[in-house]
Amino acid sequence: MSKPKIVVTRAWPKEVEAELQRHYDVTLNTTDTPMSTAQLQDALRQYDAVCPTVSDKISAEVLGARPLRAKILGNFGVGFNHIDLDAARARGLTVTNTPEVLTDCTADLAMTLLLMAARRAGEGERHVRTRAWTGWRPTHMISTKVTGKTLGLIGMGRIARAAAHRAHHGFGMKIIYFDPFPPPPEAIKDLNATQCGGIEEVLKQADFVSLHCPGGRENYHLINAERLKMMKPEAILINTARGDVVDDQALIAALKQGVIKAAGLDVYEGEPRVNEAYLAMENVVLLPHLGSATRETRIAMGMRVFENLQLFFAGKPVRDKVV
């Protein structure tokens, strides 16, 4: 019996690519260049499985490819707002993602951004590199204390809870949160966390607001000008969720006008494009979507895709079914 044909849309860790090659007839993206709409459509016509990443826009146009050979989209990533799920469902495609395995590293990065933005670490590092530093002095680069402050979480899924654990147990932070689908009490019993009645309540009380909600239509520009004005003037916004959750223009204006103090961003609307205004601002920390970017996590993500493919082609229920 011939092996299922699989295409991997970007370069993956070599360990995962080797495992896929042992079990499937695999086409790898050896140049690691993004595939065009036409190339993605061809992949759906020619392969039994397409393995995209969050940088591939699997739109209704892409999914309209005919004839359709593909049966499964094995997505490399926990987020799936880059895939038109309604169109995938209409074409009878199974869609899987890679939850759980990137929780710790993404939570680590959320705390990295929080600390960097609070303590002006990016600005300070540039200060040293440009030889502008003239020595220690009592009023130089005064920043914001983290220990003992209030962390507000928008969304309380696995990553948010992991970030809360670090903040509460590591920095003695008070945890408040809002999630329309809150976790069971036993999942957060060690955090002494307070559930708020809405997003606005979190924004008004928190010294730091960290976003951990899905992207897509439901949360598009969830953080807008009106909501930014609800935050404390000394508050700091952290986004490791999805770029479209934040209205860029509103955040830029808020940072410039002192509506809030600072921000730490790992994701951007329309990435890899980054709004030019951010690049000139010292009170925003910018990272290139590094949430899951550790060797251990990226291998684990790839192996989770592999596991889902193994189950699917064996005719068994997949572990991480989205559609």
Which positions are catalytic? 242, 271, 289
Return d(Cα 230, Cα 215) in angstroms, integer. Answer: 21
CB 44 within 8 A of CB 63: yes
**Distances in whole angstroms, Cα of residue 216 to Cα of each of 28, 32, 52, 70, 242:** 29, 26, 17, 24, 8
* Residue 90, φ and ψ in degrees, nearest 5: -65, -30
Q: Which residue has the tokens 């064996």?
A: 314
User: Tokens for 29?
Assistant: 């993206």
Which tokens go with 269?
Answer: 């609307």
Give the C-alpha separation, 209 to 220, whole Å. 17
Edge-to-edge order in the sheet of strand 150-154: 194-195, 174-178, 150-154, 208-211, 236-239, 262-265, 284-286
Q: Is the dihedral of CA 291, 103, 197, 233 positive or negative?
A: negative
222 in Cβ contact with 251 (< 8 Å): no
Residue 174, Cα to own-chain centre: how many angstroms?
Answer: 24
Q: How far is CA 316 from CA 99, 311, 312, in A?
A: 19, 5, 6
